[in-house]
Amino acid sequence: MSELLTTAQMRAIEAAAIESGRVTGLELMERAGAGVVEAIMEEWPALAKSSYRAVVLCGPGNNGGDGFVIARLLMEREWEVQVFLYGAPETLPPDAKTNYDLWCRLGDVLPLSEKDFRKDGRNTADIYIDAIFGTGLSRAPDGELAQFLRHLGGAGGDDYAARMVSVDAPSGLCLDSGRVLVPPPPEAIANLLDARPHGAPVYSDRFAALTVTFQSAKAGHFLAEGPAVCGKVVVKDIGLSDWQKRNLAAKGETRHPAKGLRIPKLFMRDGPKGDADPQLRHLTYDMAMLSKYRGAGSHKFTYGHALVLCGAAGKTGAARLAARGALRIGAGVVSLGVPAAAMPEVTAQVTSIMTARIDSAEDLHEALKDSRITTLCLGPGMGIARAASLLPVALRAKRKTVLDADALTALSQDPALMALLHDDCILTPHAGEFARLFPQISARLKALAISGPAYSKVDATREAAAAAGCSVLYKGLDTVIADKTGRAILSPAYYSRAAPWLATAGSGDVLAGFITGLLARGMPVLVASEMGAYLHVECARSFGPGLIAEDLPEELPKVMRALGVA
């Protein structure tokens, strides 16, 4: 687990460090610049062996200040360095101005314009440093600057991405939301190189080969367009971990010393270890905790009985996939609740999964008299009408409940059903289902991001969970899981964890099954959901090309063993 920071949290941590008197802003800037140079040499070891040519593009704030440090450090390595500045030197903040002055003893600074930049073959450098905007981006770049960024983004046919190193963020990317900010119409429309219905982003594709950020990755590196434009993200320690740890209030929030803001923390599972933060350990289990008890006295019901409600004949595959996922992940007993007419189809297909005839709400009510059924899963292949008829009984039973697919559609059509959701429910919508369930939140998320911090998928998922009164797992390559109190975990399938083979029919059904199985085993809802999402991606990565949904549960034994589950 690692923590993802918002820009406000980063500022709060930096302010706390500087206020302590143990470090100055200038020292932090020097460490940041040195971190970028180090990351460049690690990424391209050949560059460390000789002197090359760099172009450094500096902006009007401290991101630009980092740029002047980088320019100086590269020149100390006898590189040829060309520096451009967007904005006036006299308005640079103090630390950036100090580094500007230091650089001016070594070389020139040219005003940043596309014309000057392209003159004299300046697009032939070995490395470009994008130090225009970082965490201080407050609105979309517009006018000539937007034009210039589009040029850097490859709009004019020159391709800089393979040699571009962004400091903290590709300039124009909102580090809270991962949205590339877009200048408002009509200017965006006038500048369109690539006409889109809602205006063109400043740039829309891969922008940098490497993005070097400081202390912790920011949410925007892993959300929305962030991964596409950052290339690769490297985090460099600049010595703020004491303050990052201390800046934690009892409920897992960052305090903002200046404004008294309380910002809930955001975690990302990026490995099998869960020990992110002592105060949140209950949320962040190690994978090893999936092991089954080795001593005497445990039996199948120790690991819970999950009931997966199945749809009509010809539509039972989705529920069977979910049930198989729940069983493989370690639920003690898994049953399918099957309509009579679908029973022959289901029984012909399953062996270790049990079946129970459930035609009606009364049948479900009867089945739930068995208190050993701890967990329910409704939705995959169920049909909307069947979901709507079984949901009232299922929700009133107050078991741990996973709601996916048709159950989500049924919920979105009936506010009375929504009102029955409770703490132990988890909704697992993809973007289309999310839009049906939470149309206003979804519209806000889809709107153009013009100013920062832009509304993010984390904001949207937290808001949806609060509105629904239960937990929500909003699927995608940047899956976000939140509970109604605002606790949130990001489960990305990006960068080194990319899992494109998951884009296959039925993979969402298996995810619902994984979460169902973990809930049956007794895990809290948020833990089961984030662990299920993590294992889902791991199974896809482990299997690789050719993956179909059936393979996901079958890959679990190998994946769990590799993650230390005994």
Ligand X SMILES: NC(=O)C1=CN([C@@H]2O[C@H](COP(=O)(O)OP(=O)(O)OC[C@H]3O[C@@H](n4cnc5c(N)ncnc54)[C@H](O)[C@@H]3O)[C@@H](O)[C@H]2O)[C@@H](O)CC1
Ligand Y SMILES: Nc1ncnc2c1ncn2[C@@H]1O[C@H](COP(=O)(O)OP(=O)(O)O)[C@@H](O)[C@H]1O
Binding site for ligand Y (CB under 6 A): 430, 475-477, 479, 493, 499-500, 502-503, 505-509, 511
Q: Which run of H or of E encompasses 335?
A: strand 333-338
CB of 26 to ligand Y, least distance (A): 42
CB of 208 to ligand X, least distance (A): 14
Judged by CB, which is closer to K ion: 68, or 543? 68
Q: Binding marks (x or -) toward ligand X, 139..158, rule CB under 6 A?
A: xxx-----------------
Is 271 assigned to a binding site? no
Alpha-helical regions (H) of 379-478? 384-396, 405-412, 415-418, 431-437, 439-446, 457-468
And the tokens for 253? 């929030």
Is 424 assigned to a binding site? no
Q: Are 280 and 268 within 8 A, CB to CB? A: no
Q: Which of 117, 214, 474, 534 binds ligand X (CB under 6 A)?
A: 214
Nearest to 241 by CA among 280, 276, 290, 193: 276
Query: How many Å from the N-terminal Cα to the C-terminal Cα in the chain?
Result: 21
Judged by CB, which is closer to ligand X: 10, or 418? 10
Is 135 assigned to a binding site? yes
Is 168 assigned to a binding site? yes
Q: Which does residue 66 bind out of ligand X, ligand Y, K ion, none, counting CB within 5 to 8 angstroms by kind?
A: ligand X
Q: Fill in the DSSP letter of residue 173.
A: B
Q: Are 332 and 374 within 8 A, CB to CB? A: no
CB of 1 to ligand X, least distance (A): 22
Is 101 assigned to a binding site? no
* Bridge partner residues of 264 (DSSP): 253
Is 360 assigned to a binding site? no
Residues 227-246 that bind ligand X (CB under 6 A): 238
168 binds ligand X (CB under 6 A): yes
Crossing angle of helices 551-562 and 317-328, rounded to 10°: 10
* Interatomic CA distance for residues 368 and 326, integer angstroms: 18
Q: Are 206 and 231 within 8 A, CB to CB? A: yes
Count of Cβ atoms closer than 10 Å to residue 67 Cβ: 29
Judged by CB under 6 A, the stretch of 7-15, 218-226, 479-487, 516-524 that binds ligand X is 7-15
DSSP string, 36-78: HHHHHHHH-GGGGSS--EEEEEE-SSHHHHHHHHHHHHHHHTT
* Interatomic CA distance for residues 347 and 341, integer angstroms: 11
Q: Which does residue 171 bind out of ligand X, ligand Y, K ion, none, counting CB within 5 to 8 angstroms by kind?
A: K ion
Q: Residue 186 — φ and ψ, nearest 5°? A: -85, -10
Alpha-helical regions (H) of 121-261? 143-152, 187-190, 226-230, 241-246
134 binds ligand X (CB under 6 A): yes
Q: Which does residue 505 bind out of ligand Y, ligand X, K ion, none, counting CB within 5 to 8 angstroms by kind?
A: ligand Y
Is-cis flag, bond preceding 94, omega within 30? Answer: no
Is 254 assigned to a binding site? no
The closest residue (CB) to ligand Y is 508
State the residues that interact with K ion by CB under 5 A.
Answer: 130, 134, 166-167, 171
Judged by CB, which is closer to ligand X: 71, or 390? 71
* Interatomic CA distance for residues 262 and 411, integer angstroms: 32
Judged by CB, which is closer to K ion: 125, or 441? 125
Alpha-helical regions (H) of 235-316? 241-246
Q: Please give the radius of gyration of the chain, using alpha carbons only, rounded to the nearest integer.
A: 26
Q: Which does residue 430 bind out of K ion, ligand X, ligand Y, none, counting CB within 5 to 8 angstroms by kind?
A: ligand Y
11 binds ligand X (CB under 6 A): yes
Q: Binding marks (x or -) toward ligand X, 49..68, rule CB under 6 A?
A: ----------xxxxxxxx--
3 binds ligand X (CB under 6 A): no
* Interatomic CA distance for residues 77 and 203, integer angstroms: 32
* Interatomic CA distance for residues 551 and 325, integer angstroms: 10
Alpha-carbon dihedral sign for residues 180, 181, 184, 188: negative
* Interatomic CA distance for residues 34 and 22, integer angstroms: 19
93 binds ligand X (CB under 6 A): yes
Is 477 assigned to a binding site? yes
Judged by CB, which is closer to ligand X: 140, or 319? 140
Q: Which does residue 401 bind out of ligand Y, K ion, ligand X, none, counting CB within 5 to 8 angstroms by kind?
A: none
Q: Which does residue 130 bind out of ligand X, K ion, ligand Y, none, counting CB within 5 to 8 angstroms by kind?
A: K ion
Q: Which does residue 136 bind out of K ion, ligand X, ligand Y, none, counting CB within 5 to 8 angstroms by kind?
A: ligand X
Judged by CB, which is closer to ligand X: 238, or 353? 238
506 binds ligand X (CB under 6 A): no
* Interatomic CA distance for residues 169 and 190, integer angstroms: 26
Number of chain residues interacting with ligand X (CB under 6 A): 28
Nearest to 537 by CA among 271, 246, 302, 247: 271
CB of 537 to ligand Y, least distance (A): 7
Is 509 assigned to a binding site? yes
Residues 6+ apart with CB under 8 A from 5: 13, 215, 216, 217, 218, 219, 244, 254, 266
Judged by CB, which is closer to ligand Y: 252, or 325? 325
Q: Which of 137, 208, 287, 425 binds ligand X (CB under 6 A)?
A: 137
Nearest to 353 by CA among 322, 379, 327: 327
Count of Cβ atoms closer than 10 Å to residue 24 Cβ: 12
Judged by CB, which is closer to K ion: 171, or 507? 171
CB of 494 to ligand Y, least distance (A): 8
Q: Which does residue 61 bind out of ligand X, K ion, ligand Y, none, counting CB within 5 to 8 angstroms by kind?
A: ligand X
Q: List, as residue ranges, the binding site for AMP.
A: 475-479, 508
Positions that interact with ligand X (CB under 6 A): 10-11, 14, 28-29, 32, 59-66, 93, 133-141, 167-168, 214, 238
Q: List, as residue ranges, the binding site.
A: 62-66, 130, 134-140, 168, 171, 318, 381, 430, 475-479, 508-509
Q: List, as residue ranges, the binding site for K(+).
A: 63, 130, 171
Q: List, as residue ranges, the binding site for (6S)-NADPHX.
A: 62-66, 134-140, 168, 318, 381, 430, 509
